[in-house]
Amino acid sequence: MAFKAVFLDATLFRDAVRAINDLIAEGIFRFTSDGLKFVATDPTMVAMVDLYISKDAFEELNVEGEEEQIPVNLDNLLAVLKRAKKADRLILEKEQENRLAVVLESSVKRKFVIPLIDMEEQKVPELNLQFLGTAEVLRQVVEEGITDAAVVSDTIMFSMDQDKFVMTGEGDLSKAEVVVEKGSEALISLDVKEPAKSKFSLDYLKKMIKGMKLGDLVKISLGNDFPMEMEIKAGELAKLKYVLAPRVEG
C-alpha cells in the first residue's frame, strides 16, 4: 500500500506549514495511522516547534509500515500550498523515493511535484518543563501585545500572577504594556501557583504570530527566567506548540 494522505481541508495543512516555515527551513513530516507529527528546533536551538494533526483531519491516510517519513524543504512545500483554496482537497503521494506529488483537487485538478531531501535526523531534546503558571488568552490580544512591544523594544516581558496576565515591552525611554485582568472576556483561564515572569526575543515571537492563526486561543505557560510554551489548537484536529528559550541578560 503506497503512501497517500488526503486532507479534508487543504488550508489546515497550509496554515500549519506556514506556522513552522519562518523558524524551520527543512524537516521531516512523520505520518502514522494516528495522524501527522512534526518536531524540530530552529538552527540556534532557541525555539522548538511541535505540531500534531489528528487522523480525523484526513479523508484518507495510507501509510506503509509503522511510519512514513516525508523530508522536505519547507519553502518549496509552502510555495505550493499557498495555491490551495478552502474548497480544495489536498492529496500528498510519494512518486518514486525522492519526489512528493502535491495535488489540489476541486472542479479541476492541479498537480505539483517537489523533491524530497536527504537530511540527517535531528536530535530534539526531551523537555520536561515544570511551569509556575498558565494563562489561556484570546489570540488577538497576544498578537497585539507582541506587535505593540515591537514598537518600543526588541524584547518582551511576559508575566502573570493570580490576578492578571501582562505583556510589557520597554526601551530606554519608551514602554508598551498590555494588561489582561482576571474576569476579562479576553482571559479565558488563569492558573498560577506563584507569580512568574520571563523575557523573550521579539524576533522569534513575531514569527510565531503566524502560527496563532490555527486557533482563536493561545495557552501560555511560564516560569521565572524560564522557557515559555505557547499552545494553539485548531479544535480537536490539530495542535501546535512553540517552546521559546528566555532572553537572560547578564
pLDDT digits (tens, 9 = 90+) for 77-87: 999 999 998 88
In this prediction, residue 162 has a pLDDT band, given cuts at 50, 70 and 90, of very high
For residues 71 and 42, give the distance between their C-alpha atoms in angstroms, rounded to a whole number: 16
pLDDT at 248: 77
pLDDT digits (tens, 9 = 90+) for 24-46: 999 999 999 999 999 999 988 89
Average the pLDDT over 108-135 and give the result.
88
Question: Residues spanned by CATH 3.70.10.10 within the chain?
Answer: 4-115, 133-244
Fold entry, domain 4-115:
Proliferating Cell Nuclear Antigen (3.70.10)
pLDDT digits (tens, 9 = 90+) for 195-205: 999 999 999 99
pLDDT at 1: 55
Pick the CATH number of 133-244 from 3.70.10.10, 3.40.50.2300, 3.40.50.510, 3.40.50.150: 3.70.10.10
Between β-strands 68-73 and 58-62, what pairing exists: parallel, antiparallel or unpaired? unpaired
Res. 122: pLDDT tops 90? no
Average the pLDDT over 210-235 and give the result.
92
Res. 104: pLDDT tops 80? yes
Res. 250: pLDDT tops 60? no
Res. 64: pLDDT tops 80? yes
Sheet holding 58-62, edge to edge: 58-62, 4-7, 89-95, 99-105, 109-115
pLDDT at 36: 97
Q: What whole-number percentage of the chain has pLDDT above 90?
A: 78
| Amino acid sitting at position 193 | K
DSSP string, the chain: ---EEEES-HHHHHHHHHHHHTT-SEEEEEEETTEEEEEEE-TTSSEEEEEEEEGGGEEEEE-SSS-EEEEEEHHHHHHHHTT--TT-EEEEEEETTTEEEEEEESSSEEEEEEE----PPP-PPP-----SEEEEEEHHHHHHHHHHHHHH-SEEEEEE-SSEEEEEEE-SS-EEEEEEETT-TTEEEEEESS-EEEEEEHHHHHHHGGGGGG-SEEEEEE-SS--EEEEEEETTTEEEEEEE------
